[in-house]
Amino acid sequence: MKRRRYTMSTSCFVCERHLHWSLLALLLAVPFPGSKLHADETDWYAGGQAALDVARQLEPVNQRARNVIFFVGDGMGVSTVTAARILEGQLKGGHGEENVLSFERLPYLALSKTYSANQQTPDSAPTMSAMMTGEKTNDGVFGFSEAVQRKEKQWQEIQQYRLMTLLELAETRGLSTGVVTTARLTHATPAACYAHTPEREWESDADLPFGTDVPDIARQLIEFAYGDGLEVAMGGGRRAFLPASVVDGEGELGRRKDGRDLTREWVERYDNAAYVWNTEQFHEIDAKTTDHLLGLFEASDMEYEADRSDDSAGEPSLTEMTEKAIRILSNNPNGYFLHVEGGRIDHGHHAGNAYRALTDSIELSNAVRKAMEMVDPKETLIIVTADHSHVFNMAGYPKRGNPILGKVVEAGQSEPARAADGKPYTTLSYSNGRGFAQLERGGDTRYGRPIHHGRADLTGIDTTDEGFHQEALVPLIMESHGGEDVAIYAGGPMAHLFHGVQEQHYVFHVMAYALGLR
């Protein structure tokens, strides 16, 4: 079977700019306990004492932020963060458990309750809407209060329930704004920054039902009326911006029925504007002379990070898009708000392919690291969180350093443990979903195969392969979200306001306060 191994970024976590994050520099000096094969008691004890010494030096940055960078790992629950941390450490040659993702070094932490106004376990529309507007709403809806029900058709009637987003507020105050994602730009999480809709699926006019005058999401991005418009918008979703009569550069048809080419309208609408759809064009963009950049790198979602090198036209990484966005937005002396989404973490989980969910989580960590290298922690608030989690489990009793994608091998043993049915089992699994598959290529290809009911005999299966899809307890068409709290990591001005267990819409209020918008 063809195998692809995920290649880690070699960019250094500590650079001259990054040392300005004084707390992080101190954290880097702390030895990780148990980093040796046979750690003795002194290693663990000294490591704990060193961590305490760092914690005692914590001092809040108690001033307003000039900039906010808001990272969302779509579906990146705590179990996903833990498994991604271990995988990254193992890819670097360590046991994995002692590793730390870039955003786990941020000094302040809280938990976020993710339920929506009408569901215990939410989707991405109301969760991101809560974080962008300060109010909870119903599943499938964003930019409106819970008074609006899903799929309501009359645009004028629901305007009284319209909520202003943080990005819109930022534009009205003269800040620059940007949205970056590996999903479609019209997907719920990024779209909740700039659009308002009673149905998250109405991404282009081809998706609108008969009898509605609600503007589609792609159109709302182009017709955005606050300030001088978004300065940066990058991700996938090209088909929602092109007419159905147009074949794009990768041979895919547009979907718009109204004949509008929204990519052309973007360039015509703004001064010093550019539209790009491949890596060559992306790298040619001069951040100093470009005021408005639209990048649409796929007809639908961008590639998983593990598959990005196979893309025919080439796609920038999430890290590269983040860096470009920061450079463009930094041209504004008033400051900026930037949202960055690791959108395909969620998609990897829905497909039951932990390999892609975790490698995309690692790439989000790389993007956070790049942002931390580029900005001053005294003026930039960085927040990393998730909109919701997944039913993704890490279980059994694997020994220290056991491959996180592997079968459970217990301490003192060399062969995989066996369940009561006599079959080996993996550390990672899902509570529901399409279940086991071993494919040439993992991820979305899973949907073309039958749902697997029950347990599989994994004895001869390489579960660390990219094409392996974990087993699921309850057979479903697609693995589902989870309803537990997710973590919020923060550093910079007003980051100390993240504490304890908070309602998800609290995130908006901290960002707005930090920027002086409310």
For residues 28 and 60, what is the distance between their CA atoms, to the nearest angstrom? 19
Q: Which of 79, 124, 145, 389 is catalytic?
A: 124
264 phi-psi bin (left φ>0, alpha ψ -120 to 50, beta other): alpha
Edge-to-edge strands of the sheet including 336-342? 273-276, 292-296, 232-236, 176-184, 336-342, 67-73, 380-385, 486-491, 108-113, 501-503
The string of DSSP codes covering 307-336 is GGGG-SS----HHHHHHHHHHHHTT-TT-E
Pick the closest to residue 9 from 372, 373, 466, 366 (CA basis): 366
Quickly tell me which residue has 């606050």 as its tokens: 226
Tokens representing 152 are: 């309501």
Cα separation, 225 vs 246, in Å, equals 27
Here the tokens at position 306 are 């593990």
Distance (Å, whole) CA 356 – CA 345: 7
The answer to whether 204 is a known catalytic residue is no
The residue among 293, 323, 282 whose CA lies nearest residue 185 is: 293
State how beta strands 389-390 and 380-385 pair. Answer: unpaired
Nearest partner of 489 among 330, 360, 365, 366, judged by Cα:
365
Token code pair at residue 250: 């990768």
Measure the CA–CA gap between 223 and 395, rounded to whole angstroms.
Answer: 48
Q: What is the largest CA-CA distance in the chain?
A: 71
Q: How many CA atoms, within 13 angstroms, populate the side-chain half-sphere of residue 437?
A: 26
Q: DSSP states of 344-407 as a string?
A: HHHHHHHTT-HHHHHHHHHHHHHHHHHHHHHS-TTTEEEEEE-S-EESEEE-S-PPTT--TTSB
Active site residues: 124
